[in-house]
């Protein structure tokens, strides 16, 4: 997939595009919305996505919050259901992304803990 040079420049300046519609945020409020990490069910397990306000996934929403800073991904749809299978998939993603599961503690805070 090729991107227009102006679109690439805007993406670098304004942050990542929406995973749903591809819109590159232009305002602070749009950048704030797209900065949130969402985990959605994918064919190979949880997939990380970012959405503008118009593309937020429907259905239940949950979250994972770092015990130190409170940051973490939002969980969409089946991953927010809270059943054992969804919880195992989310924990697998967290571990792969560098989270300490005891707590849980995000990778940035886990790094601070070791200093």
Taking only the tens place, the pLDDT of each residue in 49-67 is 999 999 999 989 999 999 9
Is position 60 within any domain?
yes
- Residue 103 near residue 68 (C-beta atoms within 8 A): yes
**Mean pLDDT score, 80-88:** 90
Is position 115 within any domain?
no
pLDDT of 3 strictly over 50: no
pTM, rounded to two decimals: 0.81
**Residue 105 per-residue DSSP state:** B
Range of the domain at 58: 5-107
> Which pLDDT belongs to residue 60?
93
What are 95-101's contacts with CB under 8 Å, separation 24+?
99/66
SS (H, E, C) 42-100: ECCEEEEECCCHHHCCCCCEEECCCCCCCCCCEEEHHHHCCCHHHHHHHHHHHHHCCCE
Mean pLDDT, the chain, rounded, equals 87
Is position 64 within any domain?
yes
Count up the domains in the chain and report the number: 1
Is position 74 within any domain?
yes
Higher pLDDT, 91 or 115: 91
Is position 114 within any domain?
no
Is position 28 within any domain?
yes
């Amino acid at each position: 997939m090729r991107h227009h040079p102006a679109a690439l420049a805007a993406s670098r300046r304004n942050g990542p595009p929406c995973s749903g519609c591809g819109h590159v945020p232009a305002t602070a409020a749009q950048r704030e919305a797209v900065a949130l990490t969402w985990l959605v069910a994918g064919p190979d397990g949880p997939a990380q996505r970012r959405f503008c306000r118009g593309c937020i996934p429907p259905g239940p929403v949950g979250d994972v919050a770092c015990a130190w800073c409170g940051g973490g991904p939002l969980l969409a749809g089946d991953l927010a259901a809270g059943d054992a299978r969804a919880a195992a998939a989310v924990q697998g993603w967290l571990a792969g992304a560098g989270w300490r599961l005891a707590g849980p503690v995000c990778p940035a805070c886990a790094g601070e803990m070791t200093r």
